[in-house]
Chains A and B, each alone.
Chain A
Amino acid sequence: MVKLLSRFRYHILIFFAVIGPGFITAMVDNDSGGIYTYSAAGAKYGYLPLWTLLPITGVLIIAQEMCSRMGAVTGKGLSDLIREEFGLRITFVMMTLLVLVNMTNVMAEFAGVASSLELFHVSRYVSVPLSGVAVWFLVVKGTYRSVEKIFLFSCVLYVTYIISGFLVNPDWKEAAIYSVKPVLLFDSGYIYMLIGMVGTTIAPWMQFYLQSAVVEKGVTAKEYAASRVEVVVGCIMTDVIAFFIIVACAGAIYSVAPKDIQDAKEAALGLKPFGQYAFLLFSAGLFNASIFAACILPLSTAYSVCEGLGFEAGVNRRMREAPIFYVLYTALIVVGAGVVLIPNFPLVRMILLSQVLNGVLLPLVLIFMVILINKSDLMGEWVNSRWFNVATWVTVIVMIGLTLAQVGIAVKGTP
């Protein structure tokens, strides 16, 4: 009995020792863009889109699990492996795309910071430069451990969405029904929205970040079982948050009058009639999500690029030792935060462009991941099983199809 208890304690310890990478990556998935997508879905179609969250969770788990497994088994980041197995030229193309896609993502995150703090009457000319500087210092002056703690705390703050979901007092019965009952409307706006929801689920940078974080954390193949649990729990939590965002907007906006919202700020304002707290919590959540992603994106980009191209990287190196790393990291923040301050900057067009580039990059990343994880000289006994491979290829093909559809719609213009 004592032995059993101590074994249980051992497992719990291992779990908390590996917690971090999976949770953080899954949570950052709900960045300002994600929150906007879910809010817009809830505001226009109410509870109908909820059913998509179940398959989305599945897809997310499949993709994240592969990356954390590769990280734990090989001890190398995804861009390391791509470089070693596919050569410099392909790596270079991918890294260029990754920088461009992430650059526009960083812009979107800082725009999220600006608009969420404007809800609290803070001018963007104050909030954006300050958060840019704060983000830069946090990562450059912090250590991996301290930064991870702050990130994990940030994950906890997502609970604001759950509370604001409750405060709006939505129709829980309907929410429950539509969570499991698929509804397909042959309405172009509805289909576009569904594609958008799935499209925001897997971003290329997440795969790079997660794998590097697992490596940095020092998770080994032995502890991997606990890491897998963490990934799964993280993915489920992410979609629980998404559920509450949709439900809050469905209860507050859709049930009053369905409408198209233009940004996440409008969703927060729509919650205002349901009390000051619902509004405040929703806005605070948006700020948290934006700044959280604004921390992680530039960092993960700089890491991936330097790993892949073989430059010195890491915040524990001095600037003289890792010049390219620091230049890239700083440039991403400066440009990302800077453009938000330029009046009349075509941010929407940039985000559209980023979706197109994303549509080129994501299929590459996913296909490479599946090829890598099936290499037995890399993964040994940890290669995909046959059934997992079938599930993975289906996921990859569906994701590629949906992403390309999203690109097509983005290029042609929203219906």
Chain B
Amino acid sequence: MADNLLFFSELLGMPVLDLKGRRIGRVKDAALVPVVHASRIDRFLVTGGLTWLTIRWDQIRSISLHKGLSLSDEVLTPYHDDEYMLRIGRDLLDQQIIDVTGRKVVRVNDVTLEIQNDGARDSLAVLEVDVGLRSVLRRLLQGALPPRWIRRLQERIPPNSIRWEFANVIEPDPLRRLRLNISYEKLEEMHPADLADIVEDLSPAERGAIFETIDNEVAADTLSEVEDPKMQASILEGLEPEKAADIVEEMAPDEAADILSELEEGASEEILEEMDSEPKTEVRELLEFEEDTAGGLMNTEFVALHENASVDDALAALRGNEDLLDGLNALFLVDSEERLIAAVPLARLFVAAGDAKLRGLAAETLIQAGVDQPQDRITELFDKYNLLTLPVVDDDGKLAGVITADDVISILRKK
């Protein structure tokens, strides 16, 4: 074990020596001030008698495991709390932390610090937060055995730590008013499904804290990946209606409708009020349908063209609807009354001439479902005809929406 490492559990209780080498107290806690420096221990909290004193990092001459902290300046101030301080013992130790690289939620058992020397003085920098068995052992034995022995004992256990830069501390507790200047970029870079896994492991307040912070689009994707509909609903309910509306607008209308239908009427109405008018109408229409029918499953993200349209018209329409392109695999032809006539597999456009009529490229048989078809019937259709997209028509035969294979997979997984 390198000598320039110091564990927080070892720092706790370390003697503090004044200029003449007399002990004036023991270390009780150490704090970062993230707005000043992201990893340097800025203050040490020391208690001698009844009062707690604060030592600034630049008042220290040397730090070592045997001798403790030696000061270079004895003028100490009484401790007072301020909101910029992240106290390791109070705010970090034993709390849950997100390991963004390992995509999981773990608990902080100890913190590894590095003793750095800039020529004039020693200072401590937070290197890693320790999770796992090794740090549990160290914490348990600290005080019972000399630190040297513990270091030797723990060497047999593989370390399990998260680098400080990769760990995001979430501080939702309004009473402590602690805000970290940690960027949420790392969270936003993750795949929404992985982020959703993490979110599911957190407590409601922490979930809220994450959704408040991340980008609306990422939030929307993550929310749709959360598996439990009740949890989705409670996340939305926990947010301010405006923020919730911003997130819902980014979601596919069918998923938005599904989640809003889980909310109490008052709450979902509040969110709908805040939404922009276009997505709002779509979501409202979808909300009218029973959840387990074709109408409740479908979304309104489709491209429909007149039955006489040509391939060129189709390409023009697609250019105008670029946000739909990701999930699209068929176009639909409707007559002048908007009644569904035929479906054109998207891939056929590539091999057809620009002036070819779409009518000629359409699939031979048109598979469609009525809005009140039960969910079981829908999954049956997908299975039987190997569908990717199923158009849904209303009672007059008008195209109302589409159900895509991923909706069907979600249904089947829930069973």
Residues of chain A touching chain B, judged by Cβ–Cβ distance below 8 Å, are 17, 74-76, 80, 83-84, 87-89, 92, 215, 218, 220, 222, 309-312, 321, 324, 377
Task: Tell me, rounded to whole Å, the shortest Cβ–Cβ distance linking B110 to chain A.
Answer: 9
Known: A92-B140, A312-B104. A84 touches B204 (CB 8 A): no
A77 nearest CB neighbor, chain B only: B203
- Chain A residues, CB < 8 A from B107: 83, 309-310
Known: A74-B203, A312-B104. A92 touches B228 (CB 8 A): no
B173 in contact with A377 (CB, 8 Å) = yes
Known: A89-B139, A218-B234. A84 touches B228 (CB 8 A): no
A88 in contact with B173 (CB, 8 Å) = no
B140, B202, B204: residue with the most chain A Cβ atoms closer than 10 Å:
B204
B136 in contact with A309 (CB, 8 Å) = yes
- Chain B residues, CB < 8 A from A17: 230
The answer to whether B109 has its CB under 8 Å from any CB of chain A is yes
Contact of A84 among B94, B136, B202 (CB under 8 A): B94
- Chain B residues, CB < 8 A from A76: 203
Proximity bits, B121-152, A CB within 8 Å = 1, else 0: 00000000001110010011000000000000
- Chain A residues, CB < 8 A from B231: 218
Proximity bits, B93-108, A CB within 8 Å = 1, else 0: 1111000000010111
The answer to whether B35 has its CB under 8 Å from any CB of chain A is no
B137 nearest CB neighbor, chain A only: A92
The CA-CA distance from A222 to B95 in the complex, in Å, is 25
A76 nearest CB neighbor, chain B only: B203
B106 in contact with A220 (CB, 8 Å) = no
The CA-CA distance from A309 to B109 in the complex, in Å, is 8
B104 in contact with A92 (CB, 8 Å) = no
A88 nearest CB neighbor, chain B only: B139
B228 in contact with A310 (CB, 8 Å) = no
A92 in contact with B106 (CB, 8 Å) = no
A310 in contact with B106 (CB, 8 Å) = yes
23 residue pairs of the A-B complex, CB under 8 angstroms, read: A74-B203, A75-B202, A75-B203, A75-B205, A76-B203, A83-B94, A84-B94, A84-B95, A87-B94, A88-B94, A88-B136, A89-B139, A89-B140, A92-B136, A218-B228, A218-B230, A218-B231, A220-B234, A309-B107, A310-B136, A311-B106, A311-B132, A377-B175
The CA-CA distance from A309 to B136 in the complex, in Å, is 8
- Chain B residues, CB < 8 A from A80: 96
Proximity bits, B213-237, A CB within 8 Å = 1, else 0: 0000000000000001011001001
The CA-CA distance from A80 to B109 in the complex, in Å, is 13
The CA-CA distance from A84 to B230 in the complex, in Å, is 26
Task: Tell me, rounded to whole Å, the shortest Cβ–Cβ distance linking A210 to chain B.
Answer: 17
The CA-CA distance from A30 to B12 in the complex, in Å, is 46
- Chain A residues, CB < 8 A from B96: 80, 310
How many residues of chain B get a CB closer than 8 Å to chain A's CBs?
26
B141 nearest CB neighbor, chain A only: A89
B229 nearest CB neighbor, chain A only: A218
Q: How many A-B residue pairs have CB under 8 A?
A: 48
Task: Tell me, rounded to whole Å, the shortest Cβ–Cβ distance linking B254 to chain A.
Answer: 22
- Chain A residues, CB < 8 A from B205: 75
Known: A76-B203, A218-B230, A309-B136. A321 touches B94 (CB 8 A): no
The CA-CA distance from A92 to B136 in the complex, in Å, is 9
A310 in contact with B234 (CB, 8 Å) = no
The CA-CA distance from A215 to B93 in the complex, in Å, is 23
Beyond A88-B139, A220-B234, 8 additional contacts (C-beta under 8 Å) are A75-B205, A76-B203, A83-B107, A84-B94, A88-B136, A215-B203, A220-B204, A311-B106
B131 in contact with A310 (CB, 8 Å) = yes
Task: Tell me, rounded to whole Å, the shortest Cβ–Cβ distance linking A92 to chain B.
Answer: 6
The CA-CA distance from A215 to B139 in the complex, in Å, is 28
149-170 of chain B: CB within 8 A of chain A: none
The CA-CA distance from A83 to B104 in the complex, in Å, is 18
The CA-CA distance from A404 to B94 in the complex, in Å, is 31
The CA-CA distance from A411 to B203 in the complex, in Å, is 42
- Chain B residues, CB < 8 A from A74: 203
- Chain B residues, CB < 8 A from A87: 93-94
Which 9 A-B pairs have CB atoms at the shortest separation, nearest pair first? A310-B107, A75-B203, A75-B204, A88-B139, A218-B230, A377-B175, A76-B203, A84-B94, A218-B231
- Chain A residues, CB < 8 A from B93: 87
Task: Tell me, rounded to whole Å, the shortest Cβ–Cβ distance linking A18 to chain B.
Answer: 10
The CA-CA distance from A80 to B104 in the complex, in Å, is 16
- Chain A residues, CB < 8 A from B108: 310
Task: Tell me, rounded to whole Å, the shortest Cβ–Cβ distance linking B218 to chain A.
Answer: 22
The CA-CA distance from A75 to B204 in the complex, in Å, is 6
Proximity bits, B78-118, A CB within 8 Å = 1, else 0: 00000000000000011110000000101111000000000
The CA-CA distance from A157 to B140 in the complex, in Å, is 45
Task: Tell me, rounded to whole Å, the shortest Cβ–Cβ distance linking A274 to chain B.
Answer: 45
B97 nearest CB neighbor, chain A only: A310
A85 nearest CB neighbor, chain B only: B94
The CA-CA distance from A414 to B205 in the complex, in Å, is 50
Proximity bits, B180-223, A CB within 8 Å = 1, else 0: 00000000000000000000001111000000000000000000
B104 nearest CB neighbor, chain A only: A312
A312 in contact with B106 (CB, 8 Å) = yes
Task: Tell me, rounded to whole Å, the shortest Cβ–Cβ distance linking A222 to chain B.
Answer: 8
The CA-CA distance from A88 to B130 in the complex, in Å, is 13
- Chain B residues, CB < 8 A from A88: 94, 109, 136, 139-140
B230 in contact with A310 (CB, 8 Å) = no
Task: Tell me, rounded to whole Å, the shortest Cβ–Cβ distance linking B112 to chain A.
Answer: 16
Task: Tell me, rounded to whole Å, the shortest Cβ–Cβ distance linking B154 to chain A.
Answer: 15
Task: Tell me, rounded to whole Å, the shortest Cβ–Cβ distance linking A314 to chain B.
Answer: 8
- Chain B residues, CB < 8 A from A89: 139-140
- Chain A residues, CB < 8 A from B106: 310-312
Task: Tell me, rounded to whole Å, the shortest Cβ–Cβ distance linking B157 to chain A.
Answer: 12
A220 nearest CB neighbor, chain B only: B234
A93 nearest CB neighbor, chain B only: B140
Task: Tell me, rounded to whole Å, the shortest Cβ–Cβ distance linking A95 to chain B.
Answer: 10
The CA-CA distance from A84 to B93 in the complex, in Å, is 8
The CA-CA distance from A83 to B228 in the complex, in Å, is 27
The CA-CA distance from A309 to B139 in the complex, in Å, is 11
The CA-CA distance from A72 to B389 in the complex, in Å, is 41
Proximity bits, B302-330, A CB within 8 Å = 1, else 0: 00000000000000000000000000000
The CA-CA distance from A222 to B107 in the complex, in Å, is 28
- Chain B residues, CB < 8 A from A324: 133
- Chain A residues, CB < 8 A from B109: 88, 310
A83, A87, A88, A220: residue with the most chain B Cβ atoms closer than 10 Å:
A88
Task: Tell me, rounded to whole Å, the shortest Cβ–Cβ distance linking A224 to chain B.
Answer: 13
The CA-CA distance from A88 to B94 in the complex, in Å, is 7
Task: Tell me, rounded to whole Å, the shortest Cβ–Cβ distance linking B135 to chain A.
Answer: 9
Task: Tell me, rounded to whole Å, the shortest Cβ–Cβ distance linking A302 to chain B.
Answer: 15
B228 nearest CB neighbor, chain A only: A218
A17, A215, A310: residue with the most chain B Cβ atoms closer than 10 Å:
A310
The CA-CA distance from A17 to B136 in the complex, in Å, is 38
B201 nearest CB neighbor, chain A only: A314
Task: Tell me, rounded to whole Å, the shortest Cβ–Cβ distance linking A326 to chain B.
Answer: 15
The CA-CA distance from A321 to B194 in the complex, in Å, is 14
Task: Tell me, rounded to whole Å, the shortest Cβ–Cβ distance linking A316 to chain B.
Answer: 9
Known: A74-B203, A218-B231. A321 touches B136 (CB 8 A): no
